[in-house]
Every structure is written in structure tokens, then in C-alpha cells.
Amino acid sequence: MIVWVLVFVSAYLLGSIPSAVWVGKIFYKTDVREHGSGNAGSTNTFRVLGFKPGLAVFLIDVAKGFAAVKLSEFLPIEHSGEIWEMVKIGLGAAAVVGHIFPVFARFRGGKGVAAMLGIVFGIHIWAALAAFGLWILIFTVTRIVSASSIIAGLFFPISLLLIFNEKSVALLIFSIVTAILLIITHKKNIKRLIDGTEPKFKKNVKM
């Protein structure tokens, strides 16, 4: 029981690493939550601080989601089957909660999109690559991060069903919940998209 508690707490703490806040404060003396959208995520870091810090935050956030799922390797459980999928999903959920409500940043975090991508990479790498590829395509066309994230998130459960013929009920439910959460966390963005006021990502972002 102690091992289980430690592993799940570790997943939450991994998710709680406030990469955007720490990168901004340590290297740029800036709290990204006080600028731009006020969100402690990679997108706002790109906008406020530039390409290099934004990329660093994105990669860290993806890595911590991936690492949280891989903590499942330390649990005394058979590493296959439906229960195994549920455990990995549970660890990923703990990491996302940590990202959105980070204990290391007074519980003011980001939306968890990059961390969620890392989690999906840890659970189903091919579906993750398909969703990320679609994200890149939509972003290239629209230059709107929120629209790209929402569409890629909605595509995730569709790809599992229609492309990869996934049989795991736990994974399918997880993919649907993920898509719903993306819509919920992007409510303001969706309203701006409908109104035509959602900002596009500037091509001349500072390097």
C-alpha cells in the first residue's frame, strides 16, 4: 500500500513542477502568469518570453506527463491488461491535477495540454503521434493554438476507435474524458473562436 501511495503522490508532484513559472522567474525574472493570457503553460511562455523558453517549457511538460505514466513500472502489478491500463491512466490523471493545481506554485498552473500529450505518449504512442501530427497541421493552417489543441483532442478518441481499433474500455473512456476536459478548459477560447477574436500565434515570435 505504501508503494502505491508513494507512486501516485510522485505522479502528482511530477505534474506540479511549474516549468513555465520557474523558467520565467529564474531566467527572465518574469512570472508568465502576470502577462499575456495569465496561463502558466507553454503557449503563454512562447508569447511572453519567446521561442526557446516556450519550447523548453513544452518539452518539460510533455516529459513530466510521460514520466508520471512510466512510474507504473514500479508498482507490484502485472504489466498488461485492463487493470494495467487503468493504473497508467490514474497516474496520468494525478499528473494533470498537479499541472493544473501545482503545489509548488500556489496551485496556479496551466491547462495541462502538453502534460496530457506526454501522458498519451506513455499510454498509446501511435495515437499520440497521430493527434500531434493533426495539431501541427491545424496550427500551420490557422496559427491558433487553442483550435489546434481542441481538434487534436477530439481526434484522439476517434483515432483509437477507427484507426487503431483499440479494445481497452479504460483507454477509450480516458480518451473521451480527455476530449471533454479540453473543451471545458478552453471554454473562453471557444467563445473567442466563435466571436472571431481568438488571437493567432505571431510568426515573428522572438527567438
pLDDT one-digit tens code per residue, 28-45: 999 999 998 888 889 899
> What percentage of the chain has pLDDT greater than the value 90?
73
Query: In whole angstroms, how large is the CA radius of gyration of the chain?
Result: 17
- Measured distance CA(186)–CA(197) in Å, rounded: 14
How high is the pLDDT of residue 205?
55
Look at residue 26 in the predicted model and tell me its pLDDT: 95
| pLDDT at residue 164, rounded to an integer | 94
Helix or strand holding residue 150 (H, E): helix 145-162
The average confidence (pLDDT) of the chain is 91
Question: What one-letter code names the amino acid at 206?
Answer: K
Mean pLDDT of 13-37: 93
Whole-number pLDDT of residue 203 = 60
pLDDT for residue 207: 52
pLDDT at 181: 86
In 3D, which of 157, 170, 45, 53 has the Cα closest to residue 110?
45
| Confidence at residue 43, expressed as pLDDT on a 0 to 100 scale | 87
**Which range among 9-18, 126-135, 193-202 shows the weakest confidence by mean pLDDT?**
193-202
Counted residue by residue, the chain has a size of 207
What are the tens digits of pLDDT across the range 74-97? 998 888 889 999 999 999 999 999
Task: Return the pLDDT at 135.
Answer: 94
Beta-carbon contacts of 167 under 8 Å, excluding residues fewer than 6 positions away, are none
Per-residue model confidence (pLDDT) at position 79: 84
- Find the mean pLDDT for residues 45-52: 91
Query: For residue range 91-134, what is the model confidence (pLDDT) as tens digits?
Result: 999 999 999 999 998 898 888 889 999 999 999 999 999 999 99
Per the structure block, which three cell numbers stand in for 12? 502528482
